[in-house]
Amino acid sequence: MKNIGLIVVVSLISAFFSVTMYRFFAPPKEVIIKEGSNARYTNYTDKILSDQNRTYTSAAPTSFTEAAKAVTPAVVNIRASAGGDFDFWGSGSYSGSSGSGVIVSPDGYIVTNNHVIEEGKEIEVTLNDKRKFEAELVGIDNSTDLALLKIKDDNLPHLIFANSDNVLVGEWVLAVGNPFNLESTVTAGIVSAKGRNINILEDAYSIESFIQTDAAVNPGNSGGALVNTNGELVGINTAIITRSGRYEGYSFAIPANLARKVVRDLKDFGVVQRGILGVGIEDVSDELSKSLDMANAEGIYINKVHRKSAAEEAGLKKGDVIISINRNKTISVPELQALVAQFRPGNTITVTYIRDGKKLSTDVTLKNKSNTTTLIRDDKILESIGFELKDLSRDEIRSVGVNGVKVKSVIRGSTIENTNMDPGFIITKINGKKVSTIDDVIEELESADEMIVLEGIYENFPGEYYYKFPI
């Protein structure tokens, strides 16, 4: 036993001595502790949305639950009824369409697709809490397939427009709809491309610069919200490419920046104020870039400049290659169209372009479809009674000696044609009140109760003429 105890004591002393010698002679060991780092976001300050600056963040792929919870109350179901078609025995059916919409203000403005409501005479909106409202159609824009509705209520849940220019390919997004009164549907995916043109809009001034995602979107989700995981609106779901009639892998949304501008114009003017450059354009191909001695095939080639257009007045020429608008790169034609479409006639943008290998910039004051810088009026009331008007120029006022508005054309079979009015008539008064602009005419027509009396002259005929009709 004594020998065993001695052995144990000697072993402990030897071990202690060995460890001490190792610590003395061995070099110190560096220990590294890796800590998780916080996610970093790209910030964007939106000075347009409100008087106060608001900071948006590009969403991180974390949890979808909070975004879905915040968004679904602001996405509504829309039913547009075109009425019924019945025979003598009462047989027949109702026709119409349905889809989704997004509440974009607490006082009841709702944005949706035009194709959701275009065939409907009566529009019913069902909120996520099942309340139903009759909606007023504020206006439509065929060039983007957007429509703006209004319901009468206050303090409604609504979504905030994000800056869709900052949306990144590969970023997580949610597609939220309210189809067929199923309350809500939420699907997730990523942004798979930007600036997509799929040639589905037939308007001459159509703008297709879609955000492409792989989030599942079916027909009833048209007009619904595409949001980031912060719950901010980055697009309006509009289309899918399908052969079966159902979702097959890709869906397309109108970017929020373009939708926001359309909403504002429809709200403020009843029509969209579209700024136009006045050029013919095409993407720069590899062959074209080589012929122009460009380093890469990026930019938009100007193949035509229209006479007296905004582009011509700013000095742009055929053969120039536009590379940015207000410092935003223009990689493709849809991207350029979407950037320009965010501005109104009379707004000035900075166009950067390449000419003869040199990088140049010019300020361009955009024009409207009529090639002027003035804003377009909502002239539905003029169309409804049957004539097209124009303001008199200074030379015309000097020539006829009066202020007024000239009738350019009269629609066949209209109320105006039934008065026997001829084109060229100059309206000087409406119900005894002087008018000198088209805005004056529209204001007087809209404020009239029952009867309209137009007073005026013809340039080459003496005397005054009067035309009377019910409004």
% of the chain surpassing 70 pLDDT: 81
Q: Among 44-53, 152-161, 240-249, 454-463, name the one with the lowest average pLDDT.
A: 44-53
Q: Which residue has better confidence, 158 or 90?
A: 158
The pLDDT of residue 14 is 63
Residue range(s) occupied by CATH 2.40.10.120 in the chain: 41-85+93-272
Coil vs helix vs strand at 302: strand
Q: Which of 164, 222, 251, 332 is catalytic?
A: 222
Q: Which residue has better confidence, 18 or 200?
A: 200
Confidence of residue 45 (pLDDT cuts 50, 70, 90): very low
| Mean pLDDT within 279-298 | 83
Q: Among 25-34, 158-167, 187-196, name the one with the lowest average pLDDT.
A: 25-34
Residues making up the chain, counted from first to last: 471
Q: Which residue has better confidence, 405 or 94?
A: 405
Q: Does the structure show a pLDDT above 90 at 131? A: yes
CATH of segment(s) 41-85+93-272: 2.40.10.120
Confidence of residue 466 (pLDDT cuts 50, 70, 90): very high
Q: Does the structure show a pLDDT above 80 at 451? A: yes
Is residue 214 annotated as part of the catalytic site, yes or no?
no
Query: At a CB cut-off of 8 Å and minimum separation 6, what does 311 contact?
Result: 277, 278, 279, 302, 305, 364
| Mean pLDDT within 35-57 | 34
Is residue 440 annotated as part of the catalytic site, yes or no?
no
Q: Which of 98, 141, 143, 145 is catalytic?
A: 145
Structure tokens that stand for 247 in this block: 């979702």
The pLDDT of residue 191 is 94
Q: Among 156-170, 173-187, 312-326, 392-406, name the one with the lowest average pLDDT.
A: 173-187
Most confident option among 77-81, 140-144, 298-302, 425-429: 425-429
**HSE of 24, CA atoms in CB hemisphere, 13 A:** 6
Q: Does the structure show a pLDDT above 50 at 51? A: no
Residue type, 259: A
Question: Under CATH, which architecture does the 380-470 domain have?
Answer: Roll (2.30)
Place of tokens 């361009």: 364
Q: Does the structure show a pLDDT above 70 at 142? A: yes
Buried b (16+ CB within 10 A) or exposed e, 280-313: ebebbeeebbeebebeeebbbbbeebeeebbbbe
Q: Does the structure show a pLDDT above 80 at 118? A: yes
The pLDDT of residue 301 is 93
Residue type, 148: L
Distance, CA of 334 to CA of 340 (rounded, Å): 10
Q: Does the structure show a pLDDT above 60 at 237? A: yes
Neighbours of 28 (CB within 10 A): 6
Distance, CA of 231 to CA of 74 (rounded, Å): 11
Most confident option among 61-75, 306-320, 386-400: 306-320
Is residue 115 annotated as part of the catalytic site, yes or no?
yes
Q: Which fold has domain 279-365?
A: Pdz3 Domain (2.30.42)
Distance, CA of 81 to CA of 90 (rounded, Å): 18
Q: Does the structure show a pLDDT above 80 at 40? A: no
- Per-chain mean pLDDT for the chain: 82
The pLDDT of residue 4 is 58
- Give 226: exposed, middle or buried? Use CB within 10 Å, 0-12, 13-18, 19+: buried
Q: Which of 58, 98, 100, 115 is catalytic?
A: 115
Residue range(s) occupied by CATH 2.30.42.10 in the chain: 279-365, 380-470
The pLDDT of residue 43 is 29
Place of tokens 């501005």: 343
Confidence of residue 41 (pLDDT cuts 50, 70, 90): very low
The pLDDT of residue 47 is 35
DSSP 6: H
The pLDDT of residue 46 is 37
Span 376-393, pLDDT tens digits: 777 778 888 999 888 888
Confidence of residue 288 (pLDDT cuts 50, 70, 90): confident
Place of tokens 């119900």: 431
The pLDDT of residue 169 is 92
| Mean pLDDT within 446-453 | 88
